[in-house]
Structure 1
């Protein structure tokens, strides 16, 4: 009987201990669950913070790139306006300089005209006109104008404009320029005006 009671007491104590252990395990599991939930919340919050930071960084980079583009566009627009203005001014200045030099020739022509009204000495008048012509030619040469030598040269469509073709007086002049109707000119080594020429062809 005594042994039965001891056995029951032992079983009861064992059950109490098992119950306490089970309660402790449940508490530990609950604590673990809370910790896990808290960690998940922390991770989600950290991920959200990272996303916000990345979005802010990208927005900042986009703003900087946009500002840089606007600055470059404004600088290019200013450059375009400035170069356009400089080009117009250069053309106006170049024209002004040429006209200023030609005024001297115009003065010479006016003096020649007056002298021709009552001139008796024809050779001196011719000489005066020749001097004015040479002066004009010299001014234009200084500005880059150069006469095109055409007569006797091979016909070149890049330089010459054929007005007509006539039988060449000699076989050597076939395909060459026999006469020049209007002189051609270069300006700074570029064709300013094509020479209008007569080209020799084979006799029929």
Structure 2
């Protein structure tokens, strides 16, 4: 090989090495440029994730506070639910106290009887005003959903078989909802 050929070959290798170096710089620059949008997208997604996590944690905390507040209100409501009924019965209690004092000093049985009747009627009307209604059971067909049979006795007539003959304890409705079954004697 001649000197000239060696120089050409060296120059061509240098050129190739230079091109490779330039290509590597371009690749490195392109890779950096490619990474910037990827890193920005990754950072953006991370911020979105952090925002969503924050919203979720706040929502969970708010719901937890709501449950606690609701439970507290429910407890307060249950503690004071009967307040209205108790207040309305205080008048009956006052009348009962007055009647009790009269029982100690009075000797007339008719006055005592009238006083007790007045107190009883006031109690009855107060409870009815609050929605209490007595159940009518006598001579009605026995119904296990409404009545509790204490005993069965022979029916005096054929028409009274399977019907309520006597009521040992009255049943009651509160606003048309059964709150106490009637204890009854049934004819068989």
Normalising by structure 2, what TM-score?
0.77
- Structure 1, unmatched stretches of 5+, are 1-11
2:31 aligns to what? Answer: 44
Question: Which of the two has higher C-alpha Rg?
Answer: 1
CA separation in 1, counterparts of 2:43 and 2:162? 78
Say which of 152, 155, 159 aligns to 2:139.
152
Say which of 177, 182, 185 aligns to 2:164.
177
Aligned 1:64-75 pairs, distance under 5 A: 64-75=51-62
1:9 aligns to what? Answer: none
List per-residue Cα deviations over 1:82-111 (Å, max 9, x = no partner): 222322332333333322222211121122
CA separation in 1, counterparts of 2:153 and 2:19? 114
List per-residue Cα deviations over 1:39-97 (Å, max 9, x = no partner): 43234334433443343233322322222222222222222232223223323333333
User: Aligned in 2, Cα 1:128/1:27: closer, same or farther, shift over 3 Å?
Assistant: same
Aligned 1:54-73 pairs, distance under 5 A: 54-73=41-60
User: Aligned in 2, Cα 1:195/1:53: closer, same or farther, shift over 3 Å?
Assistant: farther
Say which of 127, 130, 133 aligns to 1:140.
127
Cα displacement (A) at 1:27 = 5.7
CA separation in 1, counterparts of 2:107 and 2:149? 43
1:89 aligns to what? Answer: 76
User: Aligned in 2, Cα 1:157/1:25: closer, same or farther, shift over 3 Å?
Assistant: farther
Asked if 1:110 is matched to 2:110, the reply is: no
Secondary structure of residue in 2 paired with 1:106 = helix
Asked if 1:131 is matched to 2:129, the reply is: no
Say which of 100, 113, 128 aligns to 2:87.
100
CA separation in 2, counterparts of 1:110 and 1:144? 25
User: Aligned in 2, Cα 1:153/1:33: closer, same or farther, shift over 3 Å?
Assistant: farther
Normalising by structure 1, what TM-score?
0.72
Asked if 1:194 is matched to 2:169, the reply is: no
Aligned residues: 187
C-alpha RMSD of the superposition: 3.1
